[in-house]
Amino acid sequence: MNDDPSADISSYRDVKADILRRITEGHWAPGTLLPGEVELAESFGVARATVNRAMRELTDEGLLERRRKAGTRVRPMPLRSARFEIPLVRAEIEATGAVYRYALLSRDARQAPDWLRARLGLAKGARALHLACLHSADGAPYQFEDRWISLTALPAAEEADFAASGPNEWLVKAVPYSEVEISFLATAADPRIAGYLSMDPGEPVFTAERTTWWEGRGITHVRLYFARGHRMTTRY
Partner DNA sequence: TTGTGCTATTTGTCCGATCATATCGGCTTT
Partner DNA sequence: AAAGCCGATATGATCGGACAAATAGCACAA
CB of 157 to a second copy, least distance (A): 17
Cα 88-91-94 angle, rounded to 5 deg = 145
Burial 211-235 (b: 16+ CB within 10 A, else e): bbbbeeebbbbbbbbbbeeeeeeee
Residue 68 or 83 with smaller CB distance to DNA: 68
Tell me which stretch binds a second copy (CB under 8 A): 35-43, 82-90, 102-110, 146-154: 82-90
Q: Does 70 bind DNA (CB under 7 A)?
A: yes
State yes or no: residue 156 binds a second copy (CB under 8 A): no
- Of residues 47, 140, 156, 182, which one binds DNA by CB under 7 A? 47
137 binds a second copy (CB under 8 A): no
Q: Please check whether residue 21 is in contact with residue 66, taking contact to mean a CB–CB distance below 8 angstroms.
A: no
Query: Considering only residues 19, 23, 58, 72, which one is a binding residue for DNA as defined by CB under 7 A?
Result: 72
For helices 37-44 and 12-24, what crossing angle results, to 10°?
110
Residue with Cβ nearer a second copy (67 or 235):
235
Instruction: Let me know: does 30 contact 78? Beta carbons within 8 Å.
Output: yes
Question: Interface with a second copy includes 47 (CB under 8 A)?
Answer: no
Distance of CA 149 to the CA centre of its chain: 21
The number of beta carbons lying within 10 Å of the beta carbon of residue 186 is 8
**Interacting positions 168-197 with a second copy (CB under 8 A):** 172-173, 176-188
DSSP letter for 29, please.
Answer: -
66 contacts DNA (rule: CB under 7 A): yes
Q: How far is the CB of 67 from DNA (least distance, A)?
A: 5
Q: Which of 85, 108, 159, 161 binds a second copy (CB under 8 A)?
A: 85
Say whether residue 80 binds a second copy (CB under 8 A): yes
Q: H-helix or E-strand containing 168?
A: helix 167-174
Task: Confirm or reject binding of residue 67 to DNA (CB under 7 A).
Answer: yes
Provide CB contacts within 8 A for 56, sequence distance 6+. 66
207 binds a second copy (CB under 8 A): yes
Stretch that binds a second copy, among 10-18, 135-143, 204-212, 216-224 (CB under 8 A): 204-212
Amino acid letter, residue 199: M
Cα four-point dihedral sign 109, 112, 115, 120: positive
| Sites of contact with DNA (CB under 7 A) | 10-14, 34, 36-38, 45-50, 52-53, 55-56, 59, 66-72
